[in-house]
Chain A
């Protein structure tokens, strides 16, 4: 059986599934339930500085978008950091860590961007026995208006400065949590590394408005007729998060920087994909908030089964395995030619491949052959775009089949070359021509 014990920057947990800093980790009651359910670790909901706690809105905090059958695809929130007293949180953290020594317990922290504020809180957190800290530079709403959260995360110089303070004032490992609300995620990652961070975690939530109430014309969630942008998370953000994780993993300047991946992880498969892209472990929130803590059972067993099936013994065997395969567009092999193929036995004849191709793409799929409803790829027109595969409701009914070397591409009339050739050397590339001259 695969061993999925996790060692992330020296923090050990029985599995790589942590709960992200969020409502599910706001108090001992929830965290103990999570540990009982099997979660490997938690990042305790963000602590603020000593004094009167922040207050939350007293109306709705969440908005959402749904897929078929009202399956939750994306959730957003306008909740702030913990609204409980600092001492209460610290006391509970200490107790929980004592009771659950084999689980990871990380303290998320957000205090004003002043050296003393950080200097003051770090010893208090250290005293709980927490395994590490996570710097919340990501919250996009509310706290950012007060110069914290994303307001820090969006300025690489601030990121570096705060990380440096933390490394100076605590022995605990530092995880810097990054905001995705920035044009180039590598900049804050590099800054965090320069400041001495032990790891980064990402993504935090994305600025968003989930819907507009068409009766009141208020954005949702609506607080007395007004709304504000909230932080977007859940399955819908996973592709964005995966790209950002990969960007950091393959950036020569941050290569090797441990990453705790966050963003729409709902199943073992999502987790495995993030690990393959270079994450050292994963953090989950929306899936737990949708289905409860029990989902971790599926994640643990699913990951192990897949690893066993593929012969991966430990997490190290899979972490970063996909990273080298993430490249720039210019390096993609233009001599690789694939054509869609429709398996007629599994085709249910919904016709969606045809109409998608016919209306919006390359007119490469029939709808009628010899007077009979029939969907078939016209190879001479197919550019191999994959749209039909993506709109087909039956998995594996339409597949992309690569043409063998030497085969004729009916669309171009050319045979498939055995060599790799990309845009950098393509004759249509003016830069390539210059280089040749």
Chain B
């Protein structure tokens, strides 16, 4: 049934009833209960050299944790997960499992229905977190201090592993809350009930981790100061820049960065205060585009269109995410690039796009134009790393393709400084789980360097 509010012109709040908001933003995948988890766990074949485990960027021993669930030992399962991935709870919610562990599950091969690894992982980690079960104790204090920049997935994973190894960690976080994209950048229906903060609390409960909010690198603290005052530094600040549309009129009222919109939505205490257009166009083809588009619909937008400049096969959003968008009434259009934002009195009224095609490897405009009416346009064409905060405090850090250059251990060109997560070039497509792996591995590398190969 269409809510009356959906037809209000312009960018307005309160399109839906409070019940509709609650329903629309409830858990995307309801958690498995104990019975469902046991039934699903029974499907796992306990493969040798399991493909799922190989596909997991954090190398979680998936067959083992599922077997632990099937034997009625969910806490043991949770420990198996956390041993490799302390943010296993969030990864269970946001990982594109359909392109990772579940894609290679032998039951996907056998019958096109993989074991629901993500949901099982959530079941186990939820059990442990709900019972406040902590599995790790800190090693004897090493007396070493490490600064971590950014309290996102990479920073938190790094900080936790350092704390486990007995080092004292201070995290410098620019935002008022920890969690990084888990808190500010992921669709609300994937992480309900303030899960991101619950996870931060769970991770930091080990002790030895101090988080200083409102401390941005380059503004409130410099890299040189951090390096001077600590035995090591880990940079995990992610990406803060947003790529420009390079379309005429993109400064118009109603043109918004998708990440800002998602962040605003995530931070809203009351979703009926979040304004949304009647007609929304999202420019981009990744997860952020999908998250912004679906949530626009869920907030009551009448028409939502994703416009992507290449074909479906080139979209960074997984097939599952695209399906989810379709199911939620989002129209995805391909081979369209924005040329001009149309305005009336400074206010956005539409987007003019040009059809594209490939000429060899090169994407070119065909000259044919299309206008889609819109009172709100979200830019979701990728984020960029802002290197400026690193500089001006001594020797510059080497970059690679616009992000921080690191070696196999996460070490930057600057002594005592490691980096990981979205701020470095990583082959694994900027996934949360990849950031966790990078933070964890950098922590181990830092630990080795601080303790002569792990010996304190």
Binding site for B on A (CB under 8 A): 68-70, 348-352, 354-355, 367, 373, 393-394
Q: Of all chain B residues, which has the CB nearest A349?
A: B106
Select one of B42, B107, B109 contacting A68, CB under 8 A.
B42
From residue A333, how far is it (CB to closest CB) to chain B in Å? 33
State the CA gap A350–B110 with chains docked (Å).
10
* Residues B106 and A348 in contact, CB atoms below 8 Å apart: yes
Q: Does B400 contact A (CB under 8 A)?
A: no
From residue B323, how far is it (CB to closest CB) to chain A in Å? 25
Asked if A373 meets B51 with Cβ closer than 8 Å, knowing A352-B46, A393-B110, the reply is yes
Size category, B interface: 10 to 19
Binding site for A on B (CB under 8 A): 38-39, 42-43, 45-51, 106-107, 109-110
Give the residue among A348, A350, A351 with the most B Cβ atoms within 10 A: A350
Asked if A394 meets B38 with Cβ closer than 8 Å, knowing A351-B48, A351-B49, A367-B48, the reply is no
Measured between beta carbons, the chain B residues less than 8 angstroms from A348 are: 106-107, 109-110
* Residues B42 and A69 in contact, CB atoms below 8 Å apart: yes
Asked if A373 meets B42 with Cβ closer than 8 Å, knowing A348-B109, A349-B109, A393-B110, the reply is no
From residue B362, how far is it (CB to closest CB) to chain A in Å? 35
Measured between beta carbons, the chain B residues less than 8 angstroms from A393 are: 45, 110
29 residue pairs A–B, Cβ–Cβ below 8 Å: A68-B42, A68-B43, A69-B39, A69-B42, A70-B38, A70-B39, A348-B106, A348-B107, A348-B109, A348-B110, A349-B47, A349-B51, A349-B109, A350-B45, A350-B47, A350-B48, A350-B106, A351-B48, A351-B49, A351-B50, A352-B46, A352-B47, A354-B48, A355-B48, A367-B48, A373-B51, A393-B45, A393-B110, A394-B110
State the CA gap A352–B47 with chains docked (Å).
6
State the CA gap A373–B52 with chains docked (Å).
13
Measured between beta carbons, the chain A residues less than 8 angstroms from B46 are: 352
Q: Of all chain B residues, which has the CB nearest A347?
A: B109
* Residues B49 and A373 in contact, CB atoms below 8 Å apart: yes
How many residue pairs bridge A and B at CB < 8 Å? Answer: 36
Measured between beta carbons, the chain B residues less than 8 angstroms from A352 are: 45-48
Asked if A367 meets B45 with Cβ closer than 8 Å, knowing A69-B39, A348-B107, A348-B109, the reply is no
From residue B62, how far is it (CB to closest CB) to chain A in Å? 13
State the CA gap A364–B106 with chains docked (Å).
22
Across the A-B interface, the 7 shortest Cβ-Cβ residue pairs: A351-B48, A355-B48, A68-B42, A348-B106, A350-B47, A348-B110, A348-B109
Q: Of all chain B residues, which has the CB nearest A353?
A: B48
Measured between beta carbons, the chain A residues less than 8 angstroms from B47 are: 349-352
Q: Given contacts A348-B107, A348-B109, A349-B109, could you give 11 more A-B pairs where the C-beta distance is less than 8 Å?
A: A68-B42, A69-B42, A348-B110, A350-B47, A351-B49, A351-B50, A352-B45, A354-B48, A367-B49, A373-B51, A394-B110
From residue B282, how far is it (CB to closest CB) to chain A in Å? 39
From residue A86, how far is it (CB to closest CB) to chain B in Å? 44
From residue A430, how far is it (CB to closest CB) to chain B in Å? 41
State the CA gap A68–B39 with chains docked (Å).
8
State the CA gap A22–B395 with chains docked (Å).
86
Measured between beta carbons, the chain B residues less than 8 angstroms from A394 are: 110
From residue B366, how far is it (CB to closest CB) to chain A in Å? 43
Q: Of all chain A residues, which has the CB nearest B107?
A: A348
From residue B111, how far is it (CB to closest CB) to chain A in Å? 9
Q: Of all chain A residues, which has the CB nearest B110?
A: A348
State the CA gap A350–B62 with chains docked (Å).
13
State the CA gap A237–B110 with chains docked (Å).
30
Measured between beta carbons, the chain A residues less than 8 angstroms from B110 are: 348, 393-394
Give the residue among A351, A352, A355 with the most B Cβ atoms within 10 A: A351
State the CA gap A348–B107 with chains docked (Å).
8
Q: Of all chain A residues, which has the CB nearest B108?
A: A348
Q: Of all chain B residues, which has the CB nearest A358?
A: B48
State the CA gap A355–B50 with chains docked (Å).
11
Measured between beta carbons, the chain B residues less than 8 angstroms from A367 are: 48-49
From residue A343, how far is it (CB to closest CB) to chain B in Å? 13
From residue B167, how far is it (CB to closest CB) to chain A in Å? 38
From residue A36, how far is it (CB to closest CB) to chain B in Å? 33
Measured between beta carbons, the chain B residues less than 8 angstroms from A354 are: 48
Measured between beta carbons, the chain A residues less than 8 angstroms from B45 are: 350, 352, 393
From residue A360, how far is it (CB to closest CB) to chain B in Å? 12
Measured between beta carbons, the chain B residues less than 8 angstroms from A350 are: 45, 47-48, 106
State the CA gap A354–B46 with chains docked (Å).
12
State the CA gap A131–B228 with chains docked (Å).
98
Q: Of all chain A residues, which has the CB nearest B42?
A: A68
State the CA gap A367–B39 with chains docked (Å).
29
